């Protein structure tokens, strides 16, 4: 896997693991995500996310509610694995650890990915969007 990039991001949110789980595993409500324009469900375990300039096919490989969410990803220039771990620290505190491992189809695409695909920034934006959404729901 010489054409591989791995990125892990971690954040503690002031919500229960179950509250977070219910949002991140719900592919019917993606309104809280700034990076997604549409999600198309193919089956119970497969879906496609559409962004402004990309589409990625996902196949869910593990669902261990509310602690582990894993899937395989296939994009136009990469394939990979995403692992989301949720550890409840208290009734209202959960540590999220999300890891993406992307294997690029060729070395040139891997090099270009450092310019065109900031994985860490994408992960942080996901956490930011999730946290904002959770607080909005709590204060409704």
Under the banding of pLDDT at 50, 70 and 90, the label for residue 107 is: confident
Is 55 a member of any domain? no
Q: Classify residue 122: in a domain, yes or no.
A: yes
Would you say residue 107 lies in a domain? yes
The CA distance from 103 to 73, in Å, is: 10
Cis ω before 119 (30° cut-off from 0):
no
- What pTM does this model have? 0.92
33 within domain boundaries: no
pLDDT per residue as tens digits for the range 32-55: 999 999 999 999 999 999 999 899
Report yes or no on 43 lying in a domain: no
**What average pLDDT does the segment 87-97 reach?**
97
Let me know if residue 112 belongs to a domain. Answer: yes
Range(s) of the domain holding residue 10: 4-21+60-138
Closest alpha carbon to 126 in 102, 98, 104: 98
Is 27 exposed, middle or buried (CB count within 10 Å of its CB: 0-12, 13-18, 19+)? middle
In a domain, 36, yes or no: no
What HEC string does 59-125 produce?
EEEEEECCCEEEEEEECCCEEEEEEEEEEEEECCEEEEEEEEEEEECCHHHHHHHHHHCCHHHHHHH
Please give the average per-residue pLDDT across 62-67, as a whole number.
98
In a domain, 100, yes or no: yes
Structural tokens at position 42: 């193919």
Q: Give the CATH number of the domain where residue 132 resides.
A: 3.30.530.20
Classified as helix, coil or strand, 128 is helix
Q: pLDDT tier at 119 (50, 70, 90 boundaries)?
A: very high
Provide the domain count of the chain.
1
């Amino acid at each position: 896997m010489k054409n591989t990039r791995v990125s892990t991001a971690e954040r503690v949110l002031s919500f229960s693991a179950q509250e977070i789980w219910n949002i991140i595993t719900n592919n019917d409500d993606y309104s809280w995500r700034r990076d997604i324009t549409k999600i198309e469900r193919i089956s119970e375990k497969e879906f496609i996310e559409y962004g402004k300039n990309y589409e990625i096919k996902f196949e869910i490989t593990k669902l261990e509610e509310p602690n582990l969410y894993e899937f395989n990803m296939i994009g136009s220039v990469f394939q990979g694995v995403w692992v989301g771990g949720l550890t409840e620290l208290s009734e209202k505190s959960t540590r999220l650890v999300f890891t993406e491992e992307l294997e690029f189809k060729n070395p040139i695409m891997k090099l270009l990915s450092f310019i065109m695909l900031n994985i860490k920034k994408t992960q942080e934006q996901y956490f930011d969007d999730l946290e904002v959404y959770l607080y909005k729901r709590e204060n409704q």
